[in-house]
Amino acid sequence: MKFFIDTGNLAQIKEANELGILDGVTTNPSLMAQVGVKGEAAIAAHYKAICDIVDGDISAEVLSTDFATMVEEGKKLAAIHPNIVVKVPMIKDGINNLFWLLKNLNQI
């Protein structure tokens, strides 16, 4: 079994990590907005901060719904840190994007 915390709150992530049982973090821009993190640069910095806390998979979600933009977003997210796992919507272009990301970045 693996334990992932689903939040954008750094204090909660630190607390869970200090318990020694945290395998990773699932978060997204909506959860980050709840703690005041908004805008592309702030969101990217927040993902990086999470990666600096947790040595495990950190999910990072693309916001677009078309293939080309998802690819660009996925590349930017994957470049933040090797522990980033890119999440895409389960729509036709999202499924096509999964294959592209797996083949080219291996971070899905």
Percent above pLDDT 70 for the chain:
97
- Mean pLDDT in residue range 55-84: 93
pLDDT digits (tens, 9 = 90+) for 4-41: 999 999 999 999 999 999 999 999 999 999 999 999 99
Query: From the candidates 14, 87, 92, 103, which is the catalytic residue?
Result: 87
Domains and their CATH numbers in the chain: 4-104 (3.20.20.70)
pLDDT higher than threshold 60 for residue 107: no
- What pLDDT score does 76 carry? 95
The structure's pTM equals 0.86
Band of residue 108 on the pLDDT scale cut at 50, 70, 90:
low
Concatenate the DSSP letters of all residues of 17-83 into one string.
HHTT---EEE--HHHHHTTT--SHHHHHHHHHHHHHH-SSEEEEE----SHHHHHHHHHHHHHH-TT
Q: Is 92 a catalytic residue?
A: no
